[in-house]
């Protein structure tokens, strides 16, 4: 089919690290990527064809992005979904559909959707915004309190094991979910395009830092049986299919003690658990996100080795302009890849980048990770 170039003007709502990592795929395809972000010189704005500076809920800013774009996609889900739904009704092509973004924004609505669609998920009840402890005890401890909206990176999630945990509860509209004690968390990236073609990457195992409720590192492929791996891919595809829209999705799963899979949540965009795909898979999650947007045949998702990805977060005790130490040690490893996100301010715990290690087996990579972590530090230039 004859196509004129540039192939498309792609608008991205949000100019964070995910849009920044989408830029190489756009450039390779002669796609002009414009991002909308409130920050001047946002991580993606630094490398994109263009940036509109504006709030992600601002109707004028979203309209301006749509006017400059043939297709609109997302770097995050905390965006003005109602406005986007109106713009989509007026004919702007959005992948995924903003109705799905809106559904996913509300974790409680997302859970109800899974229940209604026959997607297995941990048992839950709504407790609104003024619950008492008796309701929590009746549901059963331990459990997890989750905010309906606004949570990310573990904020908006609070594990309740005792009355004193309850005293420190989230003071917002929330629901309770049964605590899943299996201890293994998987994630599967899925891409789907308009033709209906879908691909699911190999499940990755997310190793979570229990103190921060934040991803510590991930390993691909997950250290589970082949049968469970295939089941996870099938469930992830079923979950994406339930939304009936296209794009790239990160499906987070729990493995229960008795080996069953439950869907935790879905990100309707590129995801931390797919960062290894940049170097470790035939086609990266970002390239497949772009192909899904352009309705091009999706690329192969095979792994070319074992991979481990870890976030680089700001060291505690420092703020200010970012500085990095220990890059030499990482760089001398045989198959190590760094991604720094171009953020101009570093705070404790802020995601500043990630790195991926590729090798032949998990144990070797975990050893490499431990040695890298002894020297590689990103922090602000000023002690707090
Ligand atoms: N029902 C549960 N049982 C056990 N652990 C849970 C449960 N729900 C959440 N967690 C833990 O808390 C982490 C964060 O929860 P969740 O993914 O729902 O929140 P989030 O704020 O969207 O996090 P992120 O942005 O890191 O994905 C999970 O990865 C898991 O480790
Ligand atoms: Mg999560």
Residue 216 binned pLDDT confidence (cut-offs 50, 70, 90)? confident
CA of 156, closest atom in ligand 1: 21
Q: What are φ and ψ of residue 14, in 5° steps? A: 105, 135
- pLDDT tens-digit map of 99-127: 999 999 999 999 999 999 999 999 999 99
Q: Which residue has the tokens 């089919």?
A: 1
Band of residue 314 on the pLDDT scale cut at 50, 70, 90: very high
**Do 123-178 and 184-383 fold alike per CATH?**
no
Q: Ligand 1 atom closest to Cα of 214? A: 26
Query: Ligand 2 centroid to 153 CA: how many Å?
Result: 7
Q: Is the pLDDT of residue 130 over 90?
A: no
User: Which of 5-19, 24-38, 144-158, 310-324 shows the lowest per-residue confidence on average (mean pLDDT)?
Assistant: 144-158
pLDDT digits (tens, 9 = 90+) for 191-209: 999 998 999 999 999 998 7
- Ligand 1, atom 15, residue with closest C-alpha: 154
Cβ within 8 Å of residue 7, ≥6 positions away: 29, 30, 31, 294
CA of residue 261 relative to chain centroid, distance = 19
Q: b/e string for 27-49 if b means 16 or more Cβ within 10 A?
A: eebebbbbbbbeeeebbbbebbb
Tell which atom from ligand 1 comes closest to the C-alpha of 181: 4
**Overall average pLDDT of the 230-235 stretch:** 98
| Residues 6+ positions from 242 with CB-CB distance below 8 Å | 113, 114, 117, 119
- pLDDT at residue 273, rounded to an integer: 94
pTM of the model: 0.97
Enumerate the domain spans of the chain: 8-94, 123-178, 184-383
Tell me which of 157, 275, 309 to substitute to probe ligand 1's pocket, judged by most ligand atoms within 8 Å of the beta carbon: 157
Tell me, what's the pLDDT at 132? 86
What pLDDT does 291 receive? 98
Residue with CA at minimum distance from ligand 1 atom 11 = 213
Which one of 3.30.470.20, 1.10.3720.10, 3.40.1380.10, 3.30.230.10 gives the CATH number of domain 184-383? Answer: 3.30.470.20
Question: For residues 354 and 194, what is the distance between their CA atoms, to the nearest angstrom?
Answer: 31
> What's the token pair of residue 133?
């402890």
Residue 360, CA distances (Å) to 223, 245, 356, 366 in order: 13, 36, 13, 11
Ligand 1, pocket residues at CB < 6 Å: 122, 144, 151-157, 177, 179-180, 185, 208, 213-215, 252, 264-265
Ligand 1 centroid to residue 154 C-alpha, Å: 6
Closest ligand 1 atom, CA of 177? Answer: 1
Q: How confident is the model at residue 215 (pLDDT cuts 50, 70, 90)?
A: confident
pLDDT at 298: 98
pLDDT band at 213 (very low <50, low <70, confident <90, very high): low
CA of 213 to the centre of ligand 1 (A): 7
Distance (angstroms) between ligand 2 centre and the Cα of 334 equals 31
The share of the chain scoring above pLDDT 90, in percent, equals: 93
Tokens of 248: 């790239």
pLDDT reported for residue 211: 72
pLDDT at 209: 74
Task: Look at residue 238 in the predicted model and tell me its pLDDT.
Answer: 98
89 C-alpha vs ligand 1 centroid, how far in Å?
33
Across the range 29-57, mean pLDDT stands at 98
- Count Cα neighbours of 78 within 13 Å in the Cβ-side half-sphere: 11
Is the separation of the CB atoms in 201 and 188 below 8 Å? Answer: yes
Mean of pLDDT over the chain: 96
The residue contributing the CA closest to ligand 1 atom 13 is 213
What pLDDT sits at residue 151? Answer: 77
Is a pLDDT exceeding 90 seen at residue 356?
yes
Average pLDDT over residues 326-350: 97
- Closest protein CA for atom 19 of ligand 1: 154
pLDDT in tens, 154-177: 789 999 999 999 999 999 999 999
Is the pLDDT at 264 greater than 80? The verdict is: yes
| 304-333 average pLDDT score | 97
pLDDT of residue 150: 86
Please tell me the predicted confidence (pLDDT) of residue 260.
97
The CATH number of domain 8-94, selected from 1.10.540.10, 3.90.950.10, 3.40.50.20, 1.10.630.10: 3.40.50.20
Name the token pair of 105: 């924004």
Share of the chain above pLDDT 70, in %: 99
What is the distance between the alpha carbons of residues 384 and 376, in angstroms, rounded to a whole number? Answer: 20
The answer to whether residue 186 scores a pLDDT higher than 90 is yes
Taking only the tens place, the pLDDT of each residue in 78-105 is: 999 999 999 999 999 999 999 999 999 9
CATH number at 123-178: 3.30.1490.20
Residue owning tokens 């602000």 = 380
């Amino acid at each position: 089919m004859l196509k004129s170039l540039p192939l498309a003007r792609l608008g991205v709502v949000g100019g964070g690290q995910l849009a920044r990592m989408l830029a190489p795929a756009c450039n390779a395809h002669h796609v002009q990527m414009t991002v909308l972000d409130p920050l001047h010189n946002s991580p993606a704005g630094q490398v994109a064809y263009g940036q509109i500076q504006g709030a992600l809920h601002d109707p004028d800013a979203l309209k301006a992005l749509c006017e400059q774009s043939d297709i609109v996609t997302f770097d995050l889900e905390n965006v003005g979904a109602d406005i986007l739904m109106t713009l989509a009704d007026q004919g702007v092509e959005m992948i995924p559909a903003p109705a799905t973004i809106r559904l996913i924004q509300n974790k409680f609505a997302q859970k109800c959707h899974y229940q209604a669609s026959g997607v297995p998920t941990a048992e839950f009840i709504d407790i609104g915004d003024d619950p008492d402890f008796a309701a929590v005890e009746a549901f059963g401890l331990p459990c997890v309190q989750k905010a309906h909206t606004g949570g990310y990176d573990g904020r908006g999630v609070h594990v309740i094991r005792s009355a004193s945990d309850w005293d420190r509860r989230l003071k917002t509209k929330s629901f309770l979910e049964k605590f899943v004690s299996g201890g293994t968390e998987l994630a599967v990236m899925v891409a789907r395009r308009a033709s209906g073609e879908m691909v699911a990457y190999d499940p990755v195992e997310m190793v979570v830092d229990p103190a921060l409720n934040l991803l510590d590192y991930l390993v691909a492929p997950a250290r589970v049986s082949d049968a469970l791996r295939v089941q996870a891919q099938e469930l992830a595809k079923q979950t994406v299919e339930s939304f009936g829209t296209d794009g790239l999705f990160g499906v987070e799963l729990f493995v229960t003690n008795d080996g069953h899979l439950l869907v935790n949540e879905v990100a309707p965009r590129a995801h931390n658990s797919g960062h290894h795909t940049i170097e470790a898979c035939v086609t990266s999650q970002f390239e497949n996100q772009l192909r899904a947007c352009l309705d091009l045949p999706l690329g192969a998702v095979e792994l070319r080795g074992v991979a481990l990805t870890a976030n680089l977060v700001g060291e505690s005790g420092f703020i200010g302009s970012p500085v990095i130490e220990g890059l030499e040690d990482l760089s001398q490893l045989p198959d190590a890849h760094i991604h720094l996100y171009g953020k101009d301010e570093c705070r404790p715990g802020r995601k500043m980048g990630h790195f991926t290690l590729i090798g032949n087996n998990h144990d070797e990579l975990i050893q490499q990770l431990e040695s890298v972590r002894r020297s590689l530090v990103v922090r602000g230039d000023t002690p707090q």
